[in-house]
Structure 1
Amino acid sequence: MPAPRSDDDVAREAAVVAGEVLLRVRSEHASAGAGALADAGDRCAQQALAAYLAEHRPEDAVLSEEAADDPARLTSRRVWIVDPLDGTREFSEVGGHGVPARTDWAVHVALWEDGDLVAGAVAMPAAGATYSTAPAPQRPEGAPDVVRLAVSRSRPPAFVTALAEELGAELVPMGSAGVKATSVLRDEADAYVHAGGQHEWDSAAPVAVARAAGLHTSRVDGSPLVYNRPDPTLPDLVVARPEVAERVLAAIARVAARPTDQTAPTPETAR
């Protein structure tokens, strides 16, 4: 008799299954147009995740970007927090005429239990990569001379631009929220700072994986990230190498204290 799946296994397998569905949707509907392709991806990935979790964890509640919020989650001990397709814009850029299809989109699956995140996975199907809480990825170590900040490739917020100037940092543009958060694990960036508005499903899985790898995670003021709240908005986030976290948080505080509207956080949605 096979051993029962652990929560880490369920998170990883669910993300991979949804990712396989998304690759198939992308291939079969590549000519449908960006909007139709994004809608099909959201819908089919949601169906795949819902079916997988219903089969393997039928007693648990689910909070998903692509499903109606069920208030039963607020009294549940266990809640799966999922984003079936993180980065619909990147997913919809299928390439052609010598331009490669974008790979910087993801699937997020995380488990919140009794007040904290306990398992999670971020799948990047088009890049052939999956990061999960078990086995946890090995993080890069050491303090770089120049901090690299992951930033939205299409909507870099003024706050992060000002933060880069304060730190003397290099901005590294890339796609979805999950891709930016896990870029620290891939040694493509040293920190991801978001201060323009997100929801719990945008960060829960990347934060679970980052914590398992030993990275720093917090709000921009250094306070803890709290999940499964009545209002699932979670407007800001820091994921960083622990060697640079204090330096980054101190710079955030200095930028935030400036008496000007030019560095106020601006919206940068995960989609």
Structure 2
Amino acid sequence: METYIQEKEVAKQIALRAGQVILEYYSKNVSVTMKSGDEPVTEVDHAANNFIIENLQKAFPEDLIISEERADDPKRLTAKRFWLVDPLDGTKEFLAHNGEFSVMIGLVEWGKPVVGAVFQPTENRLWWGDRTKSFMLDNGVETTLQVSDRTDFQAMRAVVSRSHRSALLDQVFAKFNITNEIISGSGGIKIGLISQAKAELMASASAGYKIWDICAPEAILIGAGGIVTDFAGQPIDYQNKEQRAFNGILASNGKCHSDLVLGMKDLITLPFSKK
């Protein structure tokens, strides 16, 4: 029996429409301010955020909604169910006009991501689904997502960040002889590529990822047969107070995931720093 029918459809439609809100600003000069560190936030982030929250609240008035662009709600720590929203994942990519940004809407229930929608507006490409099945809508053509069956590390394709690269990640790739790299912005797009068998691995060796960065794509990847853990091989904690994945993010097609975790133990010290 299909699960979360309404939630999936609502998340899908809101993500698509929020993408159009974002594209209205794409050719304009937008105002930019800086959050903590070197993270930019724009009027586009806020416009998309307001649109998503307003429409999610209309559809699910009883649900808690947590977003990158609003203060956390302590109810999240014990809530049975809540939404996690990143209205513009890849603000730097948006400002660079390279197209590698996305809208991400995910639903957590009993601590696990159960529904996700990730939309890349510039490519008109949507990934969405739940933990049992996920799909891609690519310029109007719908396909069921299924991860690749590659098990040879030398043949695996790793999706790596355009703007955040660590020496530790280079060490991990060298140990496993992983040399095929795809460069992309937005964690949602990276994991989307794994879910559609265009890549097999994404790793972030820092505590930089927030829970809204990973929730929606995790649900989609699991539905496609993949897996997401931290570098210790543990599930991501979506109800920690700091809203961070302190032990990093490891997403894969699931075929050699445990081998990766075991093989990295002598290289890493957990938790990672926030940078």
**Do the two structures share a fold, i.e. TM-score over 0.5?**
yes
Asked if residue 143 in structure 1 is aligned to residue 151 in structure 2, the reply is yes
SS in 2 for 1:255: coil
Distance 1:38 1:45, change over 3 A: same
Distance 1:255 1:172, change over 3 A: farther
Identity of aligned residues (%): 27
RMSD: 2.4
Kept in 1: contact 2:91–2:101 (CA 8 A): yes
Asked if residue 165 in structure 1 is aligned to residue 174 in structure 2, the reply is yes
User: 1:260 aligns to what?
Assistant: none
Asked if residue 117 in structure 1 is aligned to residue 127 in structure 2, the reply is no
Offset from partner CA, 1:218-260 (integer Å, 9 cap, x none): 1111112221333211131111012231332233223227xxx
Kept in 2: contact 1:112–1:119 (CA 8 A): yes
Alignment of structure 1 residues 234-249 onto 2, 5 Å: 234-235=245-246, 236-249=248-261
Q: TM-score, normalised by structure 1?
A: 0.84
Kept in 2: contact 1:158–1:265 (CA 8 A): no
Kept in 2: contact 1:138–1:185 (CA 8 A): yes
Cα distance in 1, alignment partners of residues 30 and 15 from structure 2: 24
Instruction: Report the CA distance between 1:25 and its aligned residue.
Output: 1.8
Cα distance in 2, alignment partners of residues 232 and 120 from structure 1: 18
Q: Hey, which of these two has a bigger chunk of helix by percent?
A: 1
Out of 184-193 and 236-245, give the one that drifted further: 184-193
Kept in 2: contact 1:157–1:267 (CA 8 A): no
Q: How many equivalent pairs are there?
A: 251
User: 1:213 aligns to what?
Assistant: 224
Out of 192-201 and 225-234, give the one that drifted further: 225-234
Instruction: Report the CA distance between 1:155 and its aligned residue.
Output: 2.3
Kept in 2: contact 1:111–1:120 (CA 8 A): yes
Instruction: Report the CA distance between 1:140 and its aligned residue.
Output: 2.2
Structure 2 unmatched runs, 5+: 35-39, 135-144
Structure 1 unmatched runs, 5+: 95-101, 258-263
User: 1:20 aligns to what?
Assistant: 20
Amino acid aligned to 1:107 = V
Kindly indicate whether structure 1 or structure 2 has the higher relative contact order, using CA contacts under 8 Å at least 6 residues apart: 1
Kept in 2: contact 1:147–1:167 (CA 8 A): no
Cα distance in 1, alignment partners of residues 124 and 51 from structure 2: 19
Q: TM-score, normalised by structure 2?
A: 0.83
Q: 2:235 aligns with which of 217, 221, 224?
A: 224
Cα distance in 2, alignment partners of residues 115 and 38 from structure 1: 28
User: 2:162 aligns to what?
Assistant: 153
Cα distance in 1, alignment partners of residues 245 and 260 from structure 2: 19
Kept in 1: contact 2:78–2:239 (CA 8 A): no
Offset from partner CA, 1:22-81 (integer Å, 9 cap, x none): 111213x2x347669951211111011111111101110011100111223334322001
Kept in 2: contact 1:38–1:91 (CA 8 A): no
